[in-house]
Amino acid sequence: MSVDLATVKRVAKLARIAVSEDEANRMVGELNGILGFVEQLSEVNVDGVEAMTSVTPMAMKKRADAVTDGNKAADIVANAPVTDHNFFLVPKVVE
């Protein structure tokens, strides 16, 4: 894949980045260099290589998938002026 000047200007416009003509010309070369490196990575044979989440083998820490109220209801309404059974009480606004 190759990037041309029109593509750089379009991406800059979409990103709302002001790019001068000289900067755009420089970016064409830089972006093509980056894309060349990415294409080079696709040539590496990764058959049989497991995906990694870390450089050291470790099990993912997972919490139990349980539905709870968070045991924070009293803390949440602690600063409310008026509460009733952990609910906020507000003045009636509709008759």
Specify the CATH number for the domain of residue 36. Answer: 1.10.20
Q: Is 63 helix (H, G, I), strand (E, B) or coil?
A: coil
Is the CB of residue 38 less than 8 Å from the CB of residue 76?
no
Give the model's pLDDT for residue 31: 93
Tell whether 68 is covered by a domain.
no
Asked whether residue 94 carries a pLDDT value surpassing 80, the answer given is: yes
Tell whether 20 is covered by a domain.
yes
Q: Which two tokens stand for residue 46?
A: 């990764």
**Range of the structural domain that residue 32 is part of:** 5-41
Report phi then psi at 28, rounded to 5: -60, -50
Tell whether 19 is covered by a domain.
yes
Q: pTM to 2 decimals?
A: 0.49
**Out of 30-34, 35-39, 64-68, which region has the weakest mean confidence (pLDDT)?**
64-68
Q: For residues 40 and 8, give the distance between their C-alpha atoms in angstroms, rounded to a whole number.
A: 22
Domain total for the chain? 1
Asked whether residue 8 carries a pLDDT value surpassing 90, the answer given is: yes
